[in-house]
Amino acid sequence: MDERKLKAAFEAIRREVHPFIAVANIEWYSLFKDEIRNSIAIEGIFANRKELLDVLERNKRTSDQKMAAILGYFESAGSLYDYANNLYNEQEFQLRIADIRQIHTLLMRYESQLGTFQGTVGRFRRENVEVADAGFRPLDAAYISDMMGGFVQWINAQMADPQHNPLRLAAASHVLFETIHPFKDGNGRVGRILLNFLLIGEGYANIAIKGVQKNDRERYYEALAIGDDGFDRMLRMVEVGLQPTPDLID
């Protein structure tokens, strides 16, 4: 894996889309829609571009569950990315526990209203869970609060080091977050929004980890499952995420 090549690709995109462009900008809007489609597809919620646009323009024309997932992701990611960009411009970016809770609160609120999410939005889980199609066991619930505190501390310490690699940090933090799995549901989407939150907070563009095709989803879960080696695999997925996704869903 050539990290210099990966970093150069990110720098090229940053020059094109930074300062952060409002959702009204067509090019950035297209990038954001690509991220939403891929991220919810990893969770088994598939939407083609027309369905996505219908939901975002409030022309329902799809299932309630799909609409809740799309709107939740759009509002959570859009709000947090804008916040991260503002902090970046002010050179004050740091991660807080409250940011992670807010990602989950906005992401899951429509699913909570619909009744498909049975839990409290923004609250860390209090029970043990298993993850379908993943080869790892999430952290025991008793340790989540302490571990999340350490997780945030570790990320901020890494960002304070002028020699740190933002891309490697984003990939490593995503693998670690998914292993902790702090919420009852929605951890995958929260983790992918958090990955982009960290990238934007350090001046990079958001990316879409591919998930529309089955083999992309399988590679993603494999990268999460293999521990330290997963950091390098996640970096490769971040690199692939720079490329737009063909509309493969009818």
- How does pLDDT run across 119-177, given as a tens digit for each residue? 999 999 999 887 766 556 778 888 899 889 999 999 999 999 999 999 989 988 998 89
Q: Is 248 inside a domain boundary?
A: no
Q: Is 250 inside a domain boundary?
A: no
Q: Is 202 inside a domain boundary?
A: yes
**Helix (H, G, I), strand (E, B), or coil: what is residue 62?**
coil
Q: Is 208 inside a domain boundary?
A: yes
Q: Is 163 inside a domain boundary?
A: yes
Position 194 scores a pLDDT of: 98
Residues 46-105: pLDDT tens digits? 998 888 888 888 766 678 889 999 999 999 999 999 999 999 999 999 999 999 999 999
Taking alpha carbons only, the member of 247, 104, 116 closest to residue 187 is: 104
Q: Is 53 inside a domain boundary?
A: yes
Pick 208 or 247 by higher pLDDT. Answer: 208
Taking alpha carbons only, the member of 132, 129, 124 closest to residue 103 is: 124
Of the listed ranges 4-8, 75-79, 94-98, 242-246, the least confidently predicted one is: 242-246
For residue 148, the enclosing domain spans: 3-240
Q: Is 245 inside a domain boundary?
A: no
Tell me how far CA of residue 214 lies from CA of 39, 43, 185, 210, in angstroms: 13, 11, 21, 10
Whether pLDDT at 13 is above 80: no
| Six token digits for residue 164 | 């740190």
Pick 7 or 112 by higher pLDDT. Answer: 112
CATH number at residue 192: 1.10.3290.10
- Confidence class for position 30, pLDDT limits 50, 70, 90: confident
pTM above 0.95, yes or no: no
Q: Is 141 inside a domain boundary?
A: yes
Residues 164-201: pLDDT tens digits? 999 989 988 998 898 889 999 999 999 999 999 999 99
Q: How many domains are there within the chain?
A: 1
